[in-house]
Amino acid sequence: MSYQPEPRFIADLVVRVFGMDAVGRPFSRNAHTRDISDRGARLSGLEAKLLVGDVIGVQLGDRKARCRVIWVTGPALPIDVGVEIVAGQPCPWERQRAAHRTTATSPILRSKPAVKDKRKFRRHRISFPIEIRDGQGVGSGYAATTADMSAGGCYVETRTPLPVTEKVTIAFGLNSGRVQTTGVVRTSDRGVGMGIEFTGLDEVTQEQLQRQIESMDSPLMKAQGAS
């Protein structure tokens, strides 16, 4: 099977990079893109040690995404890193990429096709207030806000994510009531956040929650929130 070429564009953009470095210290630093593509970028001048496979946050303006480090120069700082946008995440430099598309230089081939998102419910990038407790639902818990959410789960940005397979209890408002469900941590990205799967919602509640999420992400609701 042959893969479609992914064009890269030379672009010098200042981005914020954040997460946990190779020795477990949180960082938030500026870096420059050297080139950008639909699914990744080369970042230059980063003053933080990273390892291949690390997941970091990359932000351009008001758009941000989780990215996986696929190669690193070094060991001396500053370093250049190649990053690939995690499947299902938006492209932070989408507008700049579109503007340069007609002036693309020689394309490069992807090593593998993009991973298809197999989630049953579409995730929306909304700020949804939730409360997280331990798996038994006891203790004081703590308030959090989602970076994206669907009826099947959510992603919470935090510098201290829980470990993968950790069981939690999630509570949130649904319509005029309040719902509590069990969950399990499926992804844990050091210094960036964690993905939680909801495991205790019945089908009817899932459908209600998805409708509420989609309503919150509608253009009308966004316009009302901005006014």
Q: Which residues of the chain have pLDDT under 50?
A: 1-4, 105-115
Residue 195 belongs to domain spanning: 129-226
Domain shared by 27 and 70, yes or no: yes
**Each residue's pLDDT tens digit, 89-130:** 999 999 888 887 655 544 444 444 444 555 688 999 999 999
Widest distance between CA atoms in the chain: 57
- Is 118 domain-assigned? no
**Each residue's pLDDT tens digit, 131-148:** 999 887 667 789 999 999
CA 138/CA 200 separation, integer angstroms: 16
- Is 116 domain-assigned? no
CB 82 within 8 A of CB 42: yes
pLDDT of residue 97: 85
> Tokens 């997941």 appear where?
55
CB 67 within 8 A of CB 57: yes
Whole-model pTM: value is: 0.73
Domain shared by 93 and 137, yes or no: no
pLDDT of residue 7: 75
- Is 70 domain-assigned? yes
Domain shared by 16 and 68, yes or no: yes
pLDDT of residue 226: 52
**Coil, helix or strand at residue 102:** helix
Domain shared by 75 and 170, yes or no: no
Q: Specify the CATH number for the domain of residue 152.
A: 2.40.10.220
pLDDT of residue 33: 96
**Coil, helix or strand at residue 190:** coil
What tokens appear for 143 in the block?
Answer: 């308030």
CA 204/CA 185 separation, integer angstroms: 23
